[in-house]
Amino acid sequence: MGIYEDVTNCTFQVALHVGCFWPNAVVDAFFGDVHRVYFHDCAQTGRLLHEPPVHVLAPFIGIPVLVTLLMTALVVWRSQRTQGVL
């Protein structure tokens, strides 16, 4: 993190010395080039999104489906019992 702060401060000071706005397209391109050159071989593990495992995903799908089916059965059962009372 300290390196980024140093580079950011350096580009800010250079922009002030030259008399241009900061940040600008040149600074953005510079940071893009730095990442492309120095971080192209970095591992992507730990940063990429992955599908959750089945033992985590199954309850999030199964429980709402079961609750929906049970509530539907309960509504149908209660509606059949109260038809004779009215």
Number of domains in the chain: 2
Q: What is the CATH number of the domain that holds 20?
A: 1.10.150.510
Same domain? 37 vs 65: no
Same domain? 34 vs 64: no
Q: What is the pLDDT of residue 85?
A: 55
Same domain? 35 vs 56: no
The reply to whether the predicted model has a pTM over 0.75 is no
Same domain? 42 vs 3: yes
Q: What rounded mean pLDDT belongs to the chain?
A: 82
**Residue 60: which domain range?**
51-86
Given a contact cutoff of 8 angstroms between Cβ atoms, the answer to whether 28 and 12 are in contact is no
Same domain? 73 vs 61: yes
Q: What is the pLDDT of residue 2?
A: 72
Q: What is the pLDDT of residue 71?
A: 97
The percentage of the chain sitting over the pLDDT mark of 90, rounded to a whole number, equals: 28
What would the pLDDT profile of 36-62 be if each residue is shown by its tens digit? 887 777 666 656 677 889 999 999 999
